[in-house]
Amino acid sequence: MADRSRSRLFTDQQLIELHEEGLHDREKAERLGVNKAIVGYHRRRLGLEAHGRRSLFTDKQLIELHKQGFNDREIADKLGAVKKTVRVRRGRLGIKAHGPRRLFTDQQLIELHEQGFNDREKGEKLGAHKSTVRTHRRRLGLKPIRKHKR
């Protein structure tokens, strides 16, 4: 029966030397003749930082915006990143997520409702989608306002 254990195709020293050249994991993998995931695994095991894209923002910036109460979507908008990038980075930092920030208060919605605006019009005034307005209107027990075109 053949030995199922596989010997490594490269040494830690080879990987360190390629890393010191400033190569990305993909380039290291090509030179070593292995899969990029293998290189990434061993690079992390050795405690080497990836040579990748420049980060759009620092951890300090993310932490500061989070402390100010911004949620992932708002932080992403402020930093010019996508929400998923913020979420992943926040998770790696061990920071708990803020829930979605309400765009308007119940009182604002009630006042616009009493003025006779329909859900679409309320949404335009409040900066929210009409379906969001509808959800909150229903939660408050307010009947829909229907306007007929003349």
Q: Find tokens 């990836």 and name the residue.
A: 50
**Among residues 129, 130, 136, 128, which one has the least CA distance to residue 107?**
136
**Within 10 Å of residue 5's Cβ, how many Cβ atoms?**
5
- Reported as a single tens digit per residue, the pLDDT across 103-140 is 788 999 999 999 999 999 999 998 889 999 999 999 99
Q: What is the pLDDT of residue 12?
A: 93
DSSP string covering the chain = --------SS-HHHHHHHHHTT--HHHHHHHHTS-HHHHHHHHHHTTPPP--PPPSS-HHHHHHHHHTT--HHHHHHHHT--HHHHHHHHHHTTPPPPPPPPSS-HHHHHHHHHTT--HHHHHHHHTS-HHHHHHHHHHTTPPP------
CB 109 within 8 A of CB 136: yes
Q: Which residue has the higher pLDDT, 56 or 32?
A: 32
- Reported as a single tens digit per residue, the pLDDT across 57-106 is 899 999 999 998 888 888 988 988 888 989 999 999 999 987 666 778 89
Q: What is the pLDDT of residue 1?
A: 44
Q: What is the pLDDT of residue 149?
A: 55
Q: What is the pLDDT of residue 136?
A: 93
Least confident among 22-36, 45-59, 67-81: 45-59
**Among residues 114, 107, 146, 150, which one has the least CA distance to residue 130?**
146
Q: Find tokens 């009493």 and name the residue.
A: 114
Q: How far apart are the first and last CA of the chain?
A: 86
Q: What is the pLDDT of residue 7?
A: 62
pTM: 0.39
Domain range summary for the chain, segments of one domain joined by +:
12-45, 59-92, 102-150
